[in-house]
Amino acid sequence: MRNGVSAAIIVIAASWLVIPIAAQAPATAASAYRGARTPDGKPNLNGIWQTLSTAHWNLEAHTADDGVPAGQSVVEGNDIPYQPAALAQRRANFEKRTTADPLTKCHLPGVPRVTYIPFPFQIVQTPKYVSMLYEYSNVTRIIYTDGSPHPPPLDLWMGDSRGRWEGDTLVVDVTQLNDLTWLDMAGNFHSDALHVTERYTPVDADHIRYEATLEDPKVFTRPWKLNLLLYRRLEQNLQILDYVCVDFIQRKYVTSK
């Protein structure tokens, strides 16, 4: 388990009590799922989550390859709507993907990729923000839900995230992303004009529907959406562990000397 600020966040969340499901009004056949709630009536998303999709390897439908499992597209409409020049760049990225993928250099994954890399992450809610603690490289996102605006323009690996609730859906507006991350291992990419709108909607006690709409007028012909499920990890004594990519790269370098 991490120490320092991450541990402090988890302690705060532990004191943020959850109203049990039994205390809620009975759901009708026509209503959406209504599970456990926080004291302010928001859906309780606290827990450790992970996707089982193959989006990390390729967002679009793809066949199996060396070290790559076959997978169906998580893109609505199946294909990412690239501009012609951007499509050529994606093809060039694919040809050199084993060395050019920013994750091979231990760069941060960016948004939305951080959600579907094959590592778990923990959601911790408080009344004013939602924290997401990722196992990969100890990445932490603070999503403010207090109505505060984005800061002046910055250039960030993980962007700046501001959230709001629309019914039972946590909507996260992500801006100020740099152009140094890819969307998957297959070379799908974006520019520094990327704007991401994430939606986290609980569909039952152990599943969250994750949707991300991507807008980038420099790369895509129109906004497009990816859609996948997040699964609650239920193992006993489960916790977020450490995967410090830079340490492993340095260890390989020293070993090879």
Q: How do residues 11-68 score in pLDDT, each as one tens digit?
A: 444 444 343 333 333 343 334 788 899 988 999 999 999 999 999 999 999 999 999 9
E strands, the chain, are 47-51, 121-125, 129-134, 140-144, 160-166, 169-175, 195-204, 207-215, 224-232
From residue 123, alpha-carbon distances to 141, 180, 214 in Å are: 10, 26, 22
**Each residue of 54-75: b (16+ CB within 10 Å) or e?**
bbbbbbbebeeeeebeebebbb
Torsions phi, psi for 224 (to 5 deg): -145, 165
pLDDT in tens, 181-238: 999 999 999 999 999 999 999 999 999 999 999 999 999 999 999 999 999 999 999 9
pLDDT in tens, 162-179: 999 999 999 999 999 999
**Domain residue limits, the chain:** 5-20+33-256
Entry pTM: 0.85
| Tokens, residue 168 | 């039972």
Q: In the chain, what is the greatest distance between 2 CA atoms, to the nearest angstrom?
A: 66
